[in-house]
Structure 1
C-alpha cells in the first residue's frame, strides 16, 4: 500500500492515471502527447505506477499498451475512505430524521 500512496503523491503520475481512465490501453507515445514532459520522464513515472500495480502493460508486437488497474485504488477506498464516509453519511441521515421529526411536532 505504501507504493500506491507514493505513486499517487505525484501530480504527473495522477495525470497519467487520469489519461488512462479517459482512454484505457494507450501506448507510451500517446501518453506523452497528453503531458508536457520528456519520453524518459513519462517512462519513469509509468515504471513507478507499474511497480505500485496501478498500471499493467500488454505487448502487442512492438507496441506496449498501458492499462489502468483500479484494484489498488478500490482497496484504498474500502480501507480508508469508505469507513469514514459511512460515519458522516449516517450522521447526516440522523440529522435529517431529527429535523423532520421536529417539523412534524410543530
Structure 2
C-alpha cells in the first residue's frame, strides 16, 4: 500500500470517508454492495394472479365474420372488416378517423 511521509500506511486525515472512490454512503446513497437489490424479494402468496385473456381474444380475431359490403353479405377476416370501416369513415370526411 502507499506510505505517507510519517511512515504510516493508510492514515485517515479527517476526511468524511476512507478511500472508496469518491462514493459517499448516506441518505439516498445506499452502500455499493447492496444498492441494486441483490437480496431476494419476498413472495406474496395471497396476491391476485393476473388472468391472461390473450388466447381468447386471439381465437376471436381468427374467426371470419359476416359483413355487408355493397348490399352483399360476405365473410371477412376481422382485421379486414376494421380496415373497411376505417376507410368508409375517411371517405365520408370524418377527421377523427
* TM norm structure 1: 0.23
Which one has the largest radius of gyration?
2
